[in-house]
Amino acid sequence: MSMSKDSIKKELIDKSNEILKKYDESYVVDDIAILNTAKNTSFLGNLRVFNDDNVKKIQSEIEKAFKDIGVLKVRNRKVIPCCAPYYFHISFNIAVDK
């Protein structure tokens, strides 16, 4: 891992928030989880997207922005809470070899 965990985490938070802001999404990413294993370090992030039209665009931008950091997996699913507006949950997992 050429960059420190803290610098990767900061970059992921900053870029995630830039992408959300670009599409006028109100959600703000304030933390990224870090999971250490013997072989790699994984960075786990979650975003909420409220506008249906932005889901694929934001997911695509996340894939482009983070693909060079490590092995990237991005998923999305629709969440329908009982007492709040529905949203799409976009999650990403980036594994960086040690």
Look at residue 86 in the predicted model and tell me its pLDDT: 96
CATH number of the domain that residue 68 is part of: 3.30.70
58, exposed or middle or buried, with CB in 10 Å at 0-12, 13-18, 19+?
Answer: buried
Model pLDDT for residues 47-67, shown as the tens digit of each residue: 999 999 999 999 999 999 999
**What domain range is 70 assigned to?**
5-97
Look at residue 98 in the predicted model and tell me its pLDDT: 81
Chain-centroid distance, C-alpha 87: 15
Kindly give, in sequence order, each residue whose CB lies less than 8 Å from that of residue 89, ignoring residues fewer than 6 positions away.
46, 47, 48, 76, 77, 78, 79
Domain count, the chain: 1
How much is the average pLDDT of 25-38?
Answer: 96
**Cβ-based neighbour number of residue 79 at 10 Å:** 12
Model pLDDT for residues 33-42, shown as the tens digit of each residue: 999 999 999 9
Model confidence at 3, in pLDDT bands (50, 70, 90)? confident
CA atoms within 13 A on the CB side of 57: 13
* Token output for 12: 């992921």
Q: What is the pTM of this model?
A: 0.92
